Amino acid sequence: MLPVKLAGLGYYLPERRVTNAELEATLGIPPGWIARLTGAQERRYVGSETSAGMGAAAGQRALTQAGIDVADVDLIIGASTAPQQAIPCTAVFVQRELGAPEGQSACFDVNATCQSFLFGLHTAAHLVAAGAYRTALVYSSEITSRSLNPQERESAVLFGDAAAAAVVTASAPGEASAIWHAQFATHHSGAELSQLRGGGTLHHPNDPTTLPFMNVFEMRGPTLFKQGIRLAEPFLDRFFATLGWDRQTVDAVVPHQASGPAIAMFVHRFGFHHDQLVINFPTRGNCIAASLPLALAEAVESGRIRRGDRVVLAGSGAGLTLGALALTF
Amino acid sequence: MLPVKLAGLGYYLPERRVTNAELEATLGIPPGWIARLTGAQERRYVGSETSAGMGAAAGQRALTQAGIDVADVDLIIGASTAPQQAIPCTAVFVQRELGAPEGQSACFDVNATCQSFLFGLHTAAHLVAAGAYRTALVYSSEITSRSLNPQERESAVLFGDAAAAAVVTASAPGEASAIWHAQFATHHSGAELSQLRGGGTLHHPNDPTTLPFMNVFEMRGPTLFKQGIRLAEPFLDRFFATLGWDRQTVDAVVPHQASGPAIAMFVHRFGFHHDQLVINFPTRGNCIAASLPLALAEAVESGRIRRGDRVVLAGSGAGLTLGALALTF
């Protein structure tokens, strides 16, 4: 048990709403296809927003909710898939855009695609619990809309842009807030089921053999879906066995917002009731690493999740990596 | 104090040696210029090696040195600047290339450019010390040679390719090995002093306004050097004050191998003797995140660093981020 709390949560949504009708027209998809296949109704795409700008906006809101001054942040973890630029890491630019005094915080990025936020939160929680830092800001900021492949409509319609952030501090004596358990497992046989081949040393942007399709996302949806479900059942059984909680006693389950059908599996296969689930996929889409903290932040804002609630964050993503984390909010 | 040890270290060097004479001929630089300016004599560049392949080779050697089977690794942290591809994270491919059984380890990447290894090691140490994992593999694998700008000779001659890895486990009762303290500080005013503008959401590879120069490294060397030195003096004073060690009692100081003149500052400005320093820059170049663990691994292999020695790892890098970590090996 780590005696830490999410002292504040915040999020940022780009102003531009992209409806199914707009996407269906752009991509040449029959009307109604997106909602029927994925459950999505709309998503946001950035205009002039940047990764660091969105991360800082979400971070500032999390700090305001926590009542903590930006000058007191001593750790900034950027937990996102795509950086703003290759060097330096994006958390550096969030330090700047937050107006955080330089030299007073350490900045690094963590990346495990959809699981980035959970890994970042788990890391921050351990560092804060051990006293290495006092106030950690963990944010996820994803601009998915620049890396979609209009030829692959099944994936192009799923994603949205967003940022979300959490402030992690030690719980005060007597506070119930804690992180109880986290579990992660990576299955490399799924590495090619959702991938973006470019953007690294294998297909360098300046290499003439790097082709445009390598710089956009690709997904083998049905195989990824089946493999994710098959692996998630025993993964969650093991998670709850170690955790020692009965699934029915969880106040809120926040799934990674992969797609409508993927979220439905939490009811149909993983043993939860529909009213335990926190869902924002229909209006936000899959915002990769930002999905989980965004759904959490919106649920806290609406009062759906309150102090003292038992919350489980869980999902699967590229890797293929499964993750789950249990906390008392 | 974290009761963990570096149970094994390993490294991988690409076969191809690139001498100053070869580089001077290629870049049109006067003979002797590179050695005089930087202290480098040669460096390695990859041929067909990949980021994950080099990371796995280094990791396997670290596991062999530790006497630990790959099946016992439950955490793989990829602590490097450049990924192999944008999605999924590179640690996934290292899990595969190591032959590590899938599902039995969690994989994520950590990025803070030159400080990636120190952040990754610090994270792994906390996770292992707290019992979240038993056997962590932290590796850095850098292919710098694909992102150099031949027009910017001052930086193009500095870098080399390499990978290095460390296995982190709990210290056995009675073992002296421990991590005593780590300190990091990021100064965003230095973000543009060493940067690579492309490779992210700001200058997407498929964006027609992304130009080739944005996809290679750029450095304002003299300013970076001066600012790094100015910040490092009080940073190290604070580090040693908290740590409580006299600098003269440190058995080995492993600096980030930024350049010959940067390493010399540890003697001229930071209060160490030359024979305390571990230096491999002349034959390896600056291998970004891999530099520090490579120098450490080579020093352990040669017998320069032995069990029980007091070791300080320290340096500065893009961000601008300073880092230092003290351990008993």
Structure tokens that stand for B233 in this block: 């003096």
pLDDT of residue B29: 94
Distance CA A138, CA A123 (A): 10
Q: Do B83 and A200 touch (CB under 8 A)?
A: yes
The distance of A195 to chain B (nearest Cα, Å) reads 5
Out of A85, A126, A189, the one facing B196 most closely (by C-beta) is: A85
Distance CA B212, CA B98 (A): 34
Domain A178-328: state its class.
Answer: alpha beta
Query: Does residue B147 belong to the interface with chain A, where contact is any CB pair within 8 Å?
Result: yes
- How would residue B153 be classed by pLDDT, with cut points 50, 70 and 90? very high
- Cβ burial, residue A298 (10 Å; 0-12/13-18/19+): buried
pLDDT of residue B162: 98
Out of A95, A122, A205, the one facing B205 most closely (by C-beta) is: A205
- B255-273 pLDDT per residue, tens: 999 999 999 999 999 999 9
Structure tokens that stand for A92 in this block: 């550096």
Average predicted confidence (pLDDT) for chain A: 97
Does residue B256 carry a catalytic annotation?
yes
CB < 8 Å to A206, chain B = 146, 212, 215-216
Single-letter code of the amino acid located at B254 = V
Distance CA A317, CA A323 (A): 9
Type and span of the H or E element at A18: strand A16-19
DSSP letters, A167-214, are EEEEPPTT---EEEEEEEEE-GGGTTTEEB--SSSSS-TT-TT--GGG
The distance of B159 to chain A (nearest Cα, Å) reads 15
Distance CA A78, CA A116 (A): 9
Out of B76, B104, B195, the one facing A88 most closely (by C-beta) is: B195
Known catalytic residues of A are 114, 256, 286
- For A43-66, b where at least 16 C-beta lie within 10 A, e where not — what string? bbbbeebbbbbbbbbbbbbbbebb
- B40-95 pLDDT per residue, tens: 999 999 999 999 999 999 999 999 999 999 999 999 999 999 999 999 999 999 99
CB < 8 Å to A106, chain B = 119, 184-186, 321, 323
pTM of the model: 0.98
Distance CA A228, CA A246 (A): 22
| Closest by Cα among A185, A298, A289 to A252 | A298
- B268-320 pLDDT per residue, tens: 999 999 999 999 999 999 999 999 999 999 999 999 999 999 999 999 999 99
Percent of chain B scoring above 70 in pLDDT: 100
Query: Does residue A90 belong to the interface with chain B, where contact is any CB pair within 8 Å?
Result: yes
Given this chain, do its domains B4-170 and B178-328 carry the same CATH topology? yes
Q: Please name the residues in contact with A209: beta carbons below 8 A apart, sequence gap of 6 or more.
A: A203
pLDDT of residue B40: 97
pLDDT of residue A39: 96
| Closest by Cα among B125, B98, B266 to B182 | B125
- How would residue A238 be classed by pLDDT, with cut points 50, 70 and 90? very high
Distance CA A105, CA B69 (A): 37
pLDDT of residue B98: 98
The distance of B84 to chain A (nearest Cα, Å) reads 5
Q: What is the mean pLDDT of residues A241-266?
A: 97
The catalytic position among B181, B256, B280, B287 is B256
The catalytic position among B89, B107, B122, B286 is B286
What torsion, rounded to 10 degrees, do the Cα atoms A130, A238, B79, B205 define?
-130
Average predicted confidence (pLDDT) for chain B: 97
pLDDT of residue A133: 98
Q: Do A199 and B85 touch (CB under 8 A)?
A: yes
The full set of domain ranges for chain A reads 4-170, 178-328
- How would residue A297 be classed by pLDDT, with cut points 50, 70 and 90? very high
Q: What is the mean pLDDT of residues A137-154?
A: 96
Interface test with A, best of B1, B105, B146, B201 (most A CBs within 10 A): B201
- A90-124 pLDDT per residue, tens: 999 999 999 999 999 999 999 999 999 999 999 99
Radius of gyration of the CA atoms of chain A, in A? 19
Cα–Cα distance list, B218 to A253, B29, B111, B224 (Å): 45, 18, 18, 11
Cβ-based neighbour number of residue B226 at 10 Å: 12
Segments in B67-105 forming alpha helices (H): 90-98
CATH number belonging to the domain at B4-170, selected among 3.40.630.10, 3.50.50.60, 3.40.50.2300, 3.40.47.10: 3.40.47.10
Q: Do B197 and A85 touch (CB under 8 A)?
A: yes
- A62-99 pLDDT per residue, tens: 999 999 999 999 999 999 999 999 999 999 999 999 99
Query: Does residue A93 belong to the interface with chain B, where contact is any CB pair within 8 Å?
Result: yes
Interface test with A, best of B188, B204, B217, B287 (most A CBs within 10 A): B188
Place of tokens 């899959």: A286
Q: Please name the residues in contact with A204: beta carbons below 8 A apart, sequence gap of 6 or more.
A: A210, B146, B147, B215
The ipTM is 0.97
pLDDT of residue A115: 97
- A42-66 pLDDT per residue, tens: 999 999 999 999 999 999 999 999 9
Residue B152 DSSP SS3: coil
- How would residue A184 be classed by pLDDT, with cut points 50, 70 and 90? very high
Q: Please name the residues in contact with B287: beta carbons below 8 A apart, sequence gap of 6 or more.
A: B140, B142, B144, B159, B160, B161, B162, B257, B294
| Closest by Cα among B49, B84, B216, B220 to B147 | B216
The distance of A106 to chain B (nearest Cα, Å) reads 5
**Nearest 5°: phi and psi at B42?**
-155, 175
Q: What is the mean pLDDT of residues A229-236?
A: 97
Percent of chain A scoring above 70 in pLDDT: 100
pLDDT of residue B189: 97
The catalytic position among B114, B181, B280, B287 is B114
Out of B95, B109, B198, the one facing A111 most closely (by C-beta) is: B109
Structure tokens that stand for A252 in this block: 């809120």
Contact status, residue B164 vs residue B58, Cβ threshold 8 Å? yes
Distance CA A279, CA A254 (A): 7
Interior angle at CA A161, CA A160 and CA A162, nearest 5: 125
Q: What is the mean pLDDT of residues B95-102?
A: 97
